[in-house]
Every structure is written in structure tokens, then in C-alpha cells.
Structure 1
Amino acid sequence: MSSKLIQPPSSMAASRVSIPRRLENAKSFVSFINFNGKTLSFSDNSFRLRHMFIGKVTEQSSASSPNEQQQEEEITVSQIKEELYEALKGINRGVFGVKSDKKSEIESLVKLLECRNPTPEPTGELDKIGGCWKLIYSTITVLGSKRTKLGLRDFVSLGDLLQLIDIAQGKTVHVLKFDVRGLNLLDGEFRIVASFKISSKSSVDITYESSTIKPDQLMNIFRKNMDLLLEIFNPEGRFEISFLDEDLQVGRDGKGNVFVLQRTE
């Protein structure tokens, strides 16, 4: 039997990676590396995934037995996505911070998805990337004085964060929608226009071009904090697409921030 070993970043080689509780009963074939460097493998039907020190995850190759392949496939992409959507409920995309246990749960689910990426070379399949995507989770946060300066504690509410990707033009438009209480500006928005070019089989380099805030009343509110808005939301830099299918995209920027986006109209 042959297998493919996925080695996590060195900084996490001896760290605790938790398997979300709702997936603990799933059957799988995995190998664990203990601190003595010994590998312990399990493929028994009764094995339950638990919170352990995980050094390597063994993915079965085409040479695996039918029984082992069935065990591996029982944790499907659809199941992981369902668990991820459930975990993301009530956290407002993580914009204003997430409790550590919830963040660990989401991170574990994201990594499980990345291990099952159906599009390992996404920049070679640009038709899957084009269109409109809605941010449903990010590790970028607006906390403390930044949140206060932007009025996001009291009279300004943050609406949808959208990413419009035009493959033909090589452009992306990032749209942040705002609702300002008392001014009836339900359609206020901050737009960032950028260009992109392919830098590898799984990444693109994004270059900032311009930004605008509409309507004018909203511009008057945010004018003195435009630099702060760009500091937080400017997409410029390298973006690695680590998971992509017909309705979900996961990526990481050059600073290691995670973004989960869902296709929308």
C-alpha cells in the first residue's frame, strides 16, 4: 500500500490540531506521529477521531484496498463544508474577533478542505474563479481603536463583503457595504479596484489601483480614515488559492490570513 504524506508547517510540527467535535465519529485512515518519532496507524472501523497530536495525515493512493478507500471517503468534502457553514454561524465572518476554541475548530475544517482540494492548479482553470464571491470568514479582524475610529461600534454597520472577479479584464473589485444609522444610507459602499496576474499554478499577484466610497455623505464620514480602511481591506499582494470548487473558495494572503468565500449572484 502506498500513501501520500502531507507535512504541516514546521512551526506546527508538534502543536495540537483539533478535529471538530461533529466529525469525531467519522471513520478514517490516519497516522499519528508521537514525540518519539514513531508512527501509529489506524484503519479499524471502530476508530474515532479525537483531539490528538497530529504530525502527518496519510491520504490513501489508488493502490489502497477498497475497504480503506471507503473509510477515507466517508469524510466527504460536502460533509466538511456543511460542518464549516455550521461553525461559521453567529460570528459575523470573524471580522470582530472569534473565541480561540471556535477559531481552532474553523481552522481544522479549513485544513481538512485543503487536503481534499479538487482544483490543485486553479489558475489553470480561471473559469472556476471568475464571478462574484461573498466573504463568509476571514482571520483579518477590526478590533480596539480601529473599530472605534471607523464607527463600527455604534452608528456604522458592516454589510456584505463581496469580491467581483473579471477574468477577461484581469480585474478584481472588492465591495464593502455599509449601513449608517440615521442617514438611511442602506446602499453605501467602499470599492477597491485592483488588477491581478498569475504568479504560479495556485496563486495570483494583486495590485491596488483605486478606491471610492459612495454616496458622498458616506465619503464625508470616512474621509479622514481612508488610510485605515485601506490598511485593513486592501487586497494587494500575493493570494494563494488553497481550495476551489463550484461554490466555495479558500485562500491565504502573503501575511498568512485565511479567507473563505462563497459564490453568490
Structure 2
Amino acid sequence: MVSVLANLKKELISISTATDIGFNSTPTIKQQIETLAESLEVLNPTVEPTSFMELVQGRWQLLYSTFGLERETTLQRLSFGKLPNVTVNVTGIFQEVYLDNQQYINLIEFTVGSDVKGVAAVTGRYRVEDSKRLNIDFLETSVKSASNDLDVSTFRSCLGIDSQSALESKLDFSGWSDITYLDENLRLMRGNNQNLYVLVRTN
């Protein structure tokens, strides 16, 4: 079983990586990933994932999702309508989960213009619902420059917004996600509408 599991993981990670977060997936690739994910879920070595949140803790990179996010989008869409309507190009998506204060943070890296890099964050707090489900209360969204040498005023200018436009805002809604596979470096999640998320640990 170990070799079967290892081979399934290797194939899923390889195919998922090639999709560039799902932006380059096709119906055929989508079905391949779904089949691999279902096979791994049957072999899940962590029977009750939410009882082992120390395995979830840390920073994870999203390799693939069926959420439907577009590469070219806006800060407004990434922030549930709270931040300015600035067009950005998504370059990476990460998730950080910490036991301390049950933090649950989604981070979307993006570029705007020719070379300005930024990070949009959606911060929440998780609550364990049952053996695999996490309820997430989303509390805040924000955006900042990814470059330490770029001050807020210059970053605003690069975004094309004035000093009155919000760079952060409170949120007040909830969602949920099921952890359907978990080991030391791979996590599969299924959320609302059964969207599939394939994540690998980065630290």
C-alpha cells in the first residue's frame, strides 16, 4: 500500500503542478486529478484529520483547485468586494494555518503593472466541526506590497488608487472545508460545492 500511495501522490502532485493552480487545466486533466484525489482519499493515512491539527499547521502552497479563480482578476473579487477594483494577475496562492488563535489565512500573490508585486490576504479563524470539517469565520481582508522597499504611498500609486481607498477591511461571514486527505506534506480539501484543493507543505 505504501508504494501505491507514494505513486498516487507523486502523480497527483506532478499533474497538479503542471496546471498552474488550475489555470491551465482541461476537462481531461481535471478528471485525471479528480480520479487521483479520490484514490488518495480512500487511502488517507490520517483517519480523523482535525484531531491532528499540528499536521495542518504551517504554510502550504495551492497547486490546483476547481474553485474557478481566473489568472487576471481584481482586488475587489479577491477581497469579497471590499478592496479597490484594481486589475491584477495572480501568480501564487498559499495558505497558512496556526494553532495559536486558530488562525486560518489565505494569501494570494499577484503582480500589477509590469513588475510590482503584492499580496492579498483573507484572514480568518477556524473551528473544528467534526473529524474532518473545519468551519472558518472570515474576519479581515487586506493587501500590501510584497517588496519591503516600497512604501505604502508608492504602492498605492502603483495600484492607481488614492489615499482614501481602503487597503484593508473587516469581513463577517463563514465557510467550511473538509480535510479529505492529510499527511506530512500533502493535503486535500473539499469545500463549498465540493471544490477540490490540492496543497503541498512549504514549511
Question: What TM-score range do you get, normalising by the shorter chain?
Answer: 0.7 to 0.9
Alignment of 1:135 onto 2:62 = yes
CA distance in structure 2 between the partners assigned to 1:119 and 1:235 by the alignment: 29
- Runs of at least 5 residues in structure 2 that lack an aligned partner in the other structure: 76-86, 146-154
The answer on whether the counterparts of 2:73 and 2:88 sit within 8 Å (CA) in structure 1 is no
Q: For residue 44 of structure 2, what is the aligned residue in structure 1? A: 117
The answer on whether the counterparts of 1:84 and 1:109 sit within 8 Å (CA) in structure 2 is yes
Q: Which amino acid aligns with 2:191?
A: D
CA distance in structure 1 between the partners assigned to 2:54 and 2:69 by the alignment: 32
Q: For residue 260 of structure 1, what is the aligned residue in structure 2? A: 198
Q: For residue 169 of structure 1, what is the aligned residue in structure 2? A: 101
CA distance in structure 1 between the partners assigned to 2:19 and 2:52 by the alignment: 32
Q: Number of aligned pairs?
A: 178
The answer on whether the counterparts of 1:213 and 1:219 sit within 8 Å (CA) in structure 2 is no
Q: Which amino acid aligns with 1:197?
A: R
The answer on whether the counterparts of 1:248 and 1:262 sit within 8 Å (CA) in structure 2 is yes
CA distance in structure 1 between the partners assigned to 2:36 and 2:30 by the alignment: 10
Higher strand residue share: 2
Shift of 1:210: 0.3
Write the deviation string for residues 105-162 of structure 1: whole angstroms up to 9, x where unpaired. 110000010000000101111111111111011001135xx94666xxxx84312211
RMSD: 2.9
**Closer, same or farther: CA 209–246 of 1 in aligned 2, 3 Å:** same
The answer on whether the counterparts of 2:97 and 2:105 sit within 8 Å (CA) in structure 1 is yes
Q: For residue 85 of structure 1, what is the aligned residue in structure 2? A: 13
Write the deviation string for residues 218-264 of structure 1: whole angstroms up to 9, x where unpaired. 6656x69x99xx9xxx9941110000000000010122100111000
The answer on whether the counterparts of 2:17 and 2:63 sit within 8 Å (CA) in structure 1 is no
Q: For residue 203 of structure 1, what is the aligned residue in structure 2? A: 133
Shift of 1:88: 2.1
Alignment of 1:214 onto 2:144 = yes
Alignment of 1:246 onto 2:184 = yes
The runs of at least 4 consecutive aligned structure 1 residues that moved more than 3 Å come to: 146-150, 218-221
Q: Which one has the largest radius of gyration?
A: 1
Shift of 1:74: 7.3
Tell me, what secondary structure is at the counterpart of 1:88? helix
Q: For residue 59 of structure 1, what is the aligned residue in structure 2? A: none
Q: For residue 82 of structure 2, what is the aligned residue in structure 1? A: none
Structure 1-normalised TM-score?
A: 0.60
The answer on whether the counterparts of 1:130 and 1:165 sit within 8 Å (CA) in structure 2 is yes
Q: For residue 107 of structure 1, what is the aligned residue in structure 2? A: 34
Q: For residue 178 of structure 1, what is the aligned residue in structure 2? A: 110
